[in-house]
């Protein structure tokens, strides 16, 4: 198997930055049960710009629409409006990865809107989907979360910092992608 040595340093640098960011989020979540806003909003904005310039305007448009829907103060039905927005974007999505990304971003936003997950967790996962442009990234994250949830259940913990599952799932995703 031949390696592309020109991309190798860039992959090491970007992988190191990604792992450092996820580790910082995880440390804050484990120590303080809260991730600072700067660790979630800045990467989210940078990932949106990155995805837009790569031609992923559909995912960026969805994230922008969901932010607007969340910020409307008297919105009575945010989830049906968000669902309608996501469904309408499916018609212009094109690639399968974009379809998975739309479904993933809409689902993550929905569980955040229902207060089932924290805002930092939602922003981190949405940032990752924007970075990689593929919602299938969430599969290993969900599997890691299931294992973490079982461990938390056995240990009788009420709150589990989901950034651990996000980090482990992302590492697993990168490993699976690199293996192909």
56: which residues sit within 8 A by CB, 6+ positions away?
Answer: 98, 101, 130, 133
At 7 the pLDDT is 57
Give dist(CA 39, CA 107) in Å, integer.
22
By CB neighbour count within 10 A (0-12 exposed, 13-18 middle, 19+ buried), where does 44 fall?
buried
Q: Is 57 within the bounds of a domain?
A: yes
Q: Which candidate, 13, 35, 37, 51, places its Cα nearest to that of 128? A: 51
CA distance 144 to 53: 31
Alpha-carbon span 108 to 4, nearest angstrom: 35
Look at residues 88, 95, 89 and name the one whose alpha carbon lies nearest to residue 133.
95
Name the one residue in this structure whose structure tokens are 């697993």. Answer: 172
Q: Note the pLDDT of residue 178.
A: 81
Rounded Cα distance between 93 and 79, Å, is 20
Q: Is residue 166 part of a domain?
A: yes
Range of the domain at 40: 10-179
How many residues belong to the chain? 180
Instruction: Give the dihedral sign, CA 108/103/70/130.
Output: positive
Per-residue 3-state assignment (H helix, E strand, C coil) for 89-121: HHCCCCCHHHHHHHHHHHHHHHHHHCCCCCHHH
Per-residue pLDDT at 1: 44
Residue 41 lies in a domain: yes
Domain-embedded: residue 93? yes
Judge whether 3 lies within some domain. Answer: no
Residue 172: inside a domain, yes or no? yes
Residue 1 lies in a domain: no
Q: What is the pLDDT of residue 9?
A: 77
Identify whether 173 is part of a domain: yes
- CB–CB of 135/105 below 8 Å? yes
Cβ of 122: how many Cβ atoms within 10 Å?
23
Total number of domains in the chain: 1
Q: Which segments of the chain have a pLDDT < 70? A: 1-7
Residue 163 is predicted with a pLDDT of 95
């Amino acid at each position: 198997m031949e390696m592309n040595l020109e991309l190798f340093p860039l992959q090491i640098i970007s992988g190191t930055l990604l792992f450092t960011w996820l580790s910082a989020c995880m440390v804050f979540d484990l120590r303080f049960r809260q991730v600072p806003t700067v660790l979630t909003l800045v990467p989210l904005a940078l990932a949106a710009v990155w995805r837009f310039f790569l031609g992923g305007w559909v995912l960026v448009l969805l994230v922008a629409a969901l932010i607007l829907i969340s910020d409307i103060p008297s919105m009575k039905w945010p989830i049906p409006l968000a669902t309608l927005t996501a469904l309408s974007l499916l018609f212009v999505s094109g690639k399968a990865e974009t379809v998975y990304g739309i479904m993933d971003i809409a689902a993550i936003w929905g569980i955040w809107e229902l207060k089932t997950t924290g805002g930092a967790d939602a922003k981190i996962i949405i940032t990752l989907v924007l970075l990689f442009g593929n919602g299938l990234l969430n599969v290993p994250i969900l599997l890691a979360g299931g294992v973490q949830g079982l461990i938390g259940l056995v240990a009788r913990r009420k709150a589990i910092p989901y950034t651990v599952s996000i980090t482990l799932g992302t590492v697993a995703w990168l490993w699976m992608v690199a293996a192909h």
